Structure 1
Amino acid sequence: MDLTLWILTIGWVFVLLWVPFIIYTNRKTHPKALFILFFAEMWERFSYYGMRALLVLYMTKVMFIDLAASAAEVKSYAIYGSYTAMVYLFPVIGGLVADRFLGFRKTILWGGLLMMLGHFALGIQGIDGMEGNMPMFFGALGLIIVGNGFFKPNISSFLGKFYETDDPRKDGAFSIFYMGVNIGAFLAMLTCGYVGENINWHYGFGLAGIGMLIGLIVFWAFASVFGDKGYAPKEVVSGQRKIFGAKPSWVIMILSLVAVPICALMLNLSDLMSTLLLIISIGIIGYLIVQALRSDDKAEGQRILVVIVLFFFHAVFWALFEQAGGSITIFTEKNIDRTVLGSELPSSIFQSFNSLYIMLLAPLFSFIWIRLNKAGKEPSTPMKFVLGLVQLAMGYAVIVIGAKYFVDDQGLVSIVFLALMYFFHTTGELSLSPVGLSMVTKLSPGKIVGFVMGAWFLSIAVGNKMAGFIGTLTASDSPAEGASAADTLTAYTQTYLVWGVLVVLGAAVLLLVMVPTLRKWMNGIH
């Protein structure tokens, strides 16, 4: 019996029943645009997470097969960190492009097209003679990076346009939207993970491209529900605003394609990427601070400062959360007992725990926030961030306890501890991530909301680059080639104890002290 195939089938059946239920029970509460954006983002995330489920495993087992295991892991984590950092760095530019030139609709479609081409390029690499082709591999990742920059911040910002600034339904809407993100991720990790590890790596990558194509079709075919929202600014439509004297859309398309090989080159230059990311982060945060301090509206300026402060705690969260696609996947491969009912499950599909929990818990969190709001007891956004960080630390504490006290003679930890870790990481994510997206649309001045959303994704870029560094600690501290699972366990538990538990809890305590000041700076917006 192929247990993985049974899990895959049950997962699809569950989603096909769950999604209609969520739409039906929320149809009178939210605008139709939420559900179209929900579907488009769901399929886009299917493409992204389908590829992410395989990326580190593919690099260590195929691309860098000639290197020693620890060297392959270090190189893979560095590339993974640079890749995911750039995935969340480019939204800064994508948000600006939508605000100033193309509008949300065109920017989202162009980004989705580039991502689809990148996924298909990874799939094509499976043709005889092209396996291991480094320029093509990095070029495909470059397409996904640039495309995601246009797509990711703008679909979130676009959703915010369908709600008033302090609409009590807004956090709930973003929780439902976030569930769409994770339904796509859940299906992707099961489907692409199974196909990639059990049939062919490149079929898995190709399926991710098909998911992106479906997302584009959904967004384009049902655009009528958006009404008059999401079009290019009037100055662009009238021809008053140009770039280098030319139509903005053409110039942006050309510059996008030029950016692809630059991104491909940067993937293999980890140290340079770290330096550039630091410089860009300082520049953008500095710009936002100047905007906040110079604002004629004091309340508006203080609200921007709240976003800036939470930027850093958001980065800490993602630095540890994003170990899921990197070191935790390799930890699962080496140190988790993956045998269930006589079948050994592929390590990539365990990433789907997070998405499954979000599908189940996102409606509950949406309900809880609305009920607490009506009762006047809803935690403020900064306090929700504190809760998110504490729960992230609890997840790592669970896996450390399992690895130290409940490990078998072979150095393998029960799958139960991995499931519990993902559970706490998920509740932490739901306390922080969708709430953060909602917060940006509430606290940002209307004229720069896309740019601020892009800056918010920059905090995820910083976190992902930090994630790559933390991942290398688990590999560089690993014993020599051929070491047993018991020997490799120490490197993981030590890293997770220091960074996942102690550092994260320290950040949570620091933010807790700052909560009263941040609430005051929000000036009445909860």
Structure 2
Amino acid sequence: MNSNRQSDWLGHPRGLFLLCGTELWERFSFYAMRAILVLYLTDKTINGGLGWTTQDALNLYGIYTGLVYLTPVLGGWLADNFLGQRRSIIIGGALMAIGQFTLALPNSVIDPFELQAFYVGLGFLIVGNGLFKPNISTMVGQLYGEGDNRRDGAFTIFYMGINLGSLLAGIIAGTASIHYGWKAGFLCAGVGMLLSLVVQLLFANRLLGKIGVEPAAVEQRRQSGSTQKQPLTKVERDRLKVILVMSLFVIIFWAGFEQAGGLMNIYSQDYTNRMLGSFEVPAAWFQSLNPMFIIVFAPLLALFWRRLGASEPSSPIKFAMAMGFLSLGFVCMIGAALQQGADMSIKASMWWLVGAYFFHTLGELCLSPIGLSLITKLAPLRLMSVMMGTWFCANAVANYVAGFVGSHVGDAGPLAIFSGIAITSAVAGVLLILCSNKLVSWMHGAEGASALIDETMTEADKTLTEKPAVVA
């Protein structure tokens, strides 16, 4: 694995903060578009929207966000074998910028092909994201050597950068859309993507060195002196099993969490009393609650884990905690639905939404940065970007499920959907606790101070003691 030998800043390689800046503006671009996408689709055509039904808009939202998290598998494979991570990021970022500016084209320019241009813009965003998303996260892990205990903290800092971009996105794009129309919101997203590219192009060579330049599979073959693909060892197979099992629970978590951009977005727009005195809070602003809570609580939670020391819970237990917090968030939404009752003209208090986003954020902090760090600990170097893409693939399934579930709000009603998600996530948390010991044993010391013998065995030792399996 590559290591960054340049000077540190705040105890971490300076390259970490470059990657944070790159991802910050890319996430600004993504969340700016996400904050207004469903609202743009469902708005009346006289206001510049497309006038879709809520069900059609949420179905498209689920398909789009699903593809956004599915394409990183292919993008990771291309980076590992052909492009390298740095080149993949630049190409992917350029494609996403084109996509955002396509969405921002004025109707007077693209009439009568507005819908076709809309789909073309989404297509550029999906393909570009596939190249960008798995590789920026993988490069964070490559800044640190084996056994470096700063890695989890690095991903927490990286995650704060992500959510700072998200926080700015909801406020800026939401405000621009209100005053200048939906196209202005998409224009803000495009500018954010350009800033991400500029940051990466200006500073990557100086702060990242050779990290991400050479494809990982090519680098590993060069270092081993062999042109043949190496078989997976037993330790690697067990660790990949952990990734697979944890991915199944990730699907459940994100299927509930991603209601934020769909059903909960619609709920805040149509069924929530958003008045603060004489000021009506824009619905898009609620999308900024989650990143705001993350920026506030991420360092506190990181400090809490550190204070626990040897008593710090394992990743499966942290995932179980995430499921519990997700369930509590939807208990708040159940409260909102009960306050509203059967009379849809009655609007629920906005504080139910604030409570839901608060608990969902705590759950996200127990799952998302921990999961990203876990992939870089468990995945073999030659498969690192592919496995990061596979991790995001679980998000693809979750986002499709989220859109499908949310689109049936008209049939089942908000109370039934919120209750179903709360119960499902609670049950998933209990199951994770029950199987946590087995998952930890499959990690073979990848977590914790012990690191066991598996971390110090040479490849020759592993070849002698472990039977090779499927060729990677």
Give the TM-score normalised by structure 2: 0.86
Residues 124 and 381 of structure 1, relative CA distance in 2, 3 Å threshold:
same
Instruction: Give, as a single letter, the amino acid of the residue that structure 2 aligns with 1:473.
Output: H
Q: Return the alpha-carbon distance in structure 1 between the equivalents of residues 367 and 200 of structure 2.
A: 27
Residues 28 and 457 of structure 1, relative CA distance in 2, 3 Å threshold:
same
Instruction: Name the structure 2 match of 1:393.
Output: 327
Shift of 1:366: 2.2
Q: Deviation string for 1:452-482 (max 9, x for gaps)?
A: 10100000000000011111111344xxxxx
Q: Return the alpha-carbon distance in structure 2 between the equivalents of residues 522 and 129 of structure 1.
A: 53
Contact 1:41–1:155 (CA under 8 A) maintained in structure 2 = yes
Once the two structures are superposed, the pairs formed by residues 249-268 of structure 1 within 5 Å of their partners are none
Instruction: Name the structure 1 match of 2:80.
Output: 99
1:297 to 222, 226, 233: 233
Contact 2:24–2:165 (CA under 8 A) maintained in structure 1 = yes
Q: Structure 1: which 4+ aligned runs deviate by more than 6 Å?
A: 63-69, 234-237, 406-409
Matched, 1:517 2:451: no
Matched, 1:423 2:423: no
Shift of 1:67: 12
Instruction: Name the structure 2 match of 1:243.
Output: none
Q: Return the alpha-carbon distance in structure 2 between the equivalents of residues 362 and 30 of structure 1.
A: 17
2:99 to 96, 113, 118: 118
1:188 to 162, 169, 173: 169
Shift of 1:127: 3.4
Instruction: Name the structure 2 match of 1:334.
Output: 270
Matched, 1:28 2:10: yes
Q: Which runs of 5+ in 1 are unaligned?
A: 1-25, 241-290, 478-490
Instruction: Name the structure 1 match of 2:347.
Output: 412
Instruction: Name the structure 2 match of 1:248.
Output: none
Instruction: Name the structure 1 match of 2:429.
Output: 508
Q: Return the alpha-carbon distance in structure 2 between the equivalents of residues 64 and 441 of structure 1.
A: 49
Once the two structures are superposed, the pairs formed by residues 35-114 of structure 1 within 5 Å of their partners are 35-62=17-44, 72-114=53-95
Shift of 1:435: 0.4
Instruction: Name the structure 2 match of 1:217.
Output: 198
Contact 1:46–1:211 (CA under 8 A) maintained in structure 2 = yes
Contact 2:85–2:215 (CA under 8 A) maintained in structure 1 = no
Shift of 1:370: 2.7
Alignment RMSD (CA, Å): 2.5
Q: Return the alpha-carbon distance in structure 2 between the equivalents of residues 364 and 45 of structure 1.
A: 23
Residues 454 and 48 of structure 1, relative CA distance in 2, 3 Å threshold:
same
Matched, 1:177 2:158: yes
Instruction: Name the structure 2 match of 1:455.
Output: 390
Instruction: Name the structure 2 match of 1:151.
Output: 132
Q: Deviation string for 1:247-305 (max 9, x for gaps)?
A: xxxxxxxxxxxxxxxxxxxxxxxxxxxxxxxxxxxxxxxxxxxx9xx965222211110
Instruction: Name the structure 2 match of 1:325.
Output: 261
| SS of 1:167 mapped into structure 2 | coil
Shift of 1:407: 7.2
Shift of 1:405: 4.4
Residues 167 and 54 of structure 1, relative CA distance in 2, 3 Å threshold:
same
1:204 to 185, 201, 210: 185
| SS of 1:127 mapped into structure 2 | helix
Shift of 1:398: 1.3
Matched, 1:468 2:450: no
Q: Deviation string for 1:318-356 (max 9, x for gaps)?
A: 111001110101011111111112111221111110010
Residues 501 and 131 of structure 1, relative CA distance in 2, 3 Å threshold:
farther
Residues 63 and 136 of structure 1, relative CA distance in 2, 3 Å threshold:
farther
Shift of 1:229: 1.1
Matched, 1:446 2:367: no
Instruction: Name the structure 2 match of 1:127.
Output: 108
Instruction: Name the structure 1 match of 2:284.
Output: 348
1:141 to 119, 122, 129: 122
Instruction: Give, as a single letter, the amino acid of the residue that structure 2 aligns with 1:309.
Output: V
Q: Deviation string for 1:192-250 (max 9, x for gaps)?
A: 0111133211011001000000011001101111012111239979xx9xxxxxxxxxx
Identity %, equivalent residues: 40
